[in-house]
Structure 1
């Protein structure tokens, strides 16, 4: 994925791609929720958020119910970047699954979702 991003002129690393993808698909969330969803520790997440915020792709906003907390959300530039990255994501996923027929792709997705749920429950 990272190679595809680079060849498309998108100067982001894979982890940064994942962060933008989560925010684009799920919406604003706390830094700790976001860190869990992309499997980063707090320090690594802070560094990534600082870099992405510096590029104008996301912002930290006060949480609506907890004034001690912040919500991380995409900026308009972050949303535009996600839309630019979406074809890269689709291309890599298609290439990775090209040997599978549609039924096998669906089975693989089901298996992986179940494995991920089991791991999250641990």
Structure 2
């Protein structure tokens, strides 16, 4: 018995409940969140995609961040990240700062324009999160976060084979 899920066009085919795993469900939720966020960012005229959003978020958390740290946080290889940083720098959202301890290395920081755009696009992300969780009570939202953190912790303790 196959249950048709909303927005089935976003998936290759409807998924029966028996075949729905936590990994698949989390993946589907993530894809929908990304699609909605990118639509909201496009509607706001920001010209920012999800990958760029993640880079700006990473930069918003610390004053100076190495490209290696950004790559690790955002899951991009060095070449893709360099091109993305170039585009964000062209938009005036970040700048590269030479390291004092190694002239070959740079750190990356947000510019004032980058901080301003981050505040605006962060509001889009927060609004989307609020919308996504709106059918859950405050208690259910807290429980969901606690359970997901617990699953993450369990996986963090599991060795890779």
Question: Which TM-score band applies after superposition, normalised by the shorter structure?
Answer: 0.7 to 0.9
Q: Structure 1 residues 70 and 98 mapped into 2: Cα distance closer, same or farther (>3 Å)?
A: same
Q: 2:156 aligns with which of 110, 118, 121?
A: 118
SS of match in other structure, 1:29: coil
Unaligned runs of 5+ in 1: none
Aligned positions, number: 121
Greater RCO (Cα-Cα under 8 Å, separation 6 or more): 1
Larger radius of gyration: 2
The answer for the alignment partner of 1:83 in structure 2 is 119
- Determine the C-alpha separation between the residues in 1 that align with 2:89 and 2:119: 18
- TM-score (normalised: structure 2): 0.67
Deviation string for 1:39-69 (max 9, x for gaps)?
Answer: 1111111110010011110011012433332
Cα deviation for residue 92 of structure 1 reads 0.7
Within 5 Å, which residues of 2 pair with 1:12-31?
A: 12-31=48-67
Unaligned runs of 5+ in 2: 1-36
- TM-score (normalised: structure 1): 0.87
